[in-house]
Amino acid sequence: MIKVYGVPGWGSTISELMLTLADIPYQFVDVSGFDHEGTSRELLKTLNPLCQIPTLALENDEIMTETAAIALMVLDRRPDLAPPVGRAERQQFQRLLVWLVANVYPTFTFADYPERWAPDAPEQLKKNVIEYRKSLYIWLNSQLTAEPYAFGEQLTLGNAANLLI
């Protein structure tokens, strides 16, 4: 069974939702506090030297990280959770999946820990990053015109990522 190392309500929730949507069983391992020195950080570091969540320990003992890569792994098992290959919706799905993790996801890192990136002005950085994130959400919303789901008639993993991020 897959083990999801994460924190309730944090970025690992996207992986949990994707696995749940795909009916892939998993065990959740709470590593709350991984972002500070301590036992959770040490545990996570043995699996993922970058100490980031989500970190998945797969059934074959391999480690999978990065939300987009996890989505692709889930789609290997459940291709029906993405628009069909060759359709415009599939291309938009792929593009926005990578766009989310490349553009929106990092804003949480910077806003959650502004003192790491701007020790002289952490509050200003946090404010600026949150405003920038809002502009990203507005742009994303303009791209999602299909109904009833983000990419048309089909519920996809993209809906899970959009819902939570």
Residue 140: per-residue pLDDT = 87
23 by Cβ neighbours in 10 Å (0-12 / 13-18 / 19+) ranks as exposed
CA distances from 114 to 122, 128, 164 (A): 5, 10, 22
Tens digit of pLDDT per residue, the chain (165 long)?
999 999 998 989 999 999 999 999 999 999 999 999 999 999 999 999 999 999 999 999 999 999 999 999 999 999 999 888 998 888 888 898 899 889 998 999 899 999 999 999 999 999 999 999 999 999 988 887 766 666 666 666 666 655 555
CB atoms within 10 A of CB 85: 8
Sheet with 55-57, strands from edge to edge, namely 26-30, 2-6, 55-57, 63-65
| DSSP at 148 | S
What is the three-class DSSP state of 31?
A: coil
Class of domain 2-80: alpha beta
Quote the tokens at residue 109: 């890192």
What local confidence, expressed as pLDDT, does residue 159 receive?
A: 64
